[in-house]
Homo-oligomer: A and B are copies of this chain.
Amino acid sequence: MNKLINDPANVVSDALRGIAAAHPELHVDHENQIVRRGDAPVRGKVGLVSGGGSGHEPLHAGFVGPGMLDAACAGEVFTSPVPDQIVAATTAVDGGAGVLHVVKNYTGDVMNFEMAAELAEAETGVAVVAVVTDDDVAVQDSLYTAGRRGVGVTVLLEKIAGAAADQGRPLAEVADVARRVNANGRSMGVALTSCTVPAAGKPTFDLPDGQMELGIGIHGEPGRRRVPAAPAAEIAEMLLTPILADLDFTGGSGVIAFVNGMGATPQLELYLMYHEVAEILGKAGITVARSLVGSYITSLDMAGCSVTLLRADDDILRLWDAPVRTPALRWGA
Contact = CB atoms under 8 A, between A and B. Distances in A.
Contacts of A263: 264, 266
Interface of A: 1-7, 11-12, 14-19, 21-22, 54-55, 57-58, 62, 77, 192-193, 209-210, 212, 229, 231-233, 235, 263-276, 278, 288, 291, 293, 295, 298, 300-301, 303-305, 325, 330-333
Contacts of A298: 266-267
Contacts of A333: 332
A248 to B, nearest CB: 22
B264 A14 contact: no
B275 A17 contact: yes
A3 B269 contact: yes
Nearest to A304: B4
A35 to B, nearest CB: 11
Given A1-B229, A266-B298, 12 more contacts: A2-B193, A2-B209, A2-B303, A4-B273, A14-B232, A15-B268, A22-B291, A55-B268, A264-B303, A295-B295, A301-B303, A330-B330
Contacts of A270: 4, 18
State the number of copies, please: 2
A58 B293 CA distance: 11
A229 B267 CA distance: 26
Given A15-B271, A18-B275, A5 B232 contact: yes
13 contacts: A4-B265, A4-B270, A5-B272, A6-B233, A11-B268, A15-B272, A18-B271, A18-B272, A21-B278, A21-B291, A57-B268, A266-B301, A330-B331
Contacts of A332: 333
Contacts of A295: 267, 295
Contacts of A57: 266-268, 271
A305 B18 CA distance: 15
Given A3-B269, A209-B1, A271-B22, A264 B192 contact: no
Nearest to A61: B271
Contacts of A14: 232, 272, 275
A68 to B, nearest CB: 14
A54 B268 contact: yes
Contact of A301 (B17, B209, B264): B264
Given A21-B291, A232-B4, A15 B58 contact: no
A274 B192 contact: no
Contact of A4 (B5, B21, B62, B269): B269
B192 A2 contact: yes
A204 B266 CA distance: 16
Nearest to A233: B6
Contacts of A276: 6, 18
A24 to B, nearest CB: 9
Contact of A305 (B4, B54, B209): B4
A267 B303 contact: no
Contact of A192 (B3, B55, B231): B3
A156 to B, nearest CB: 15
A11 B270 CA distance: 11
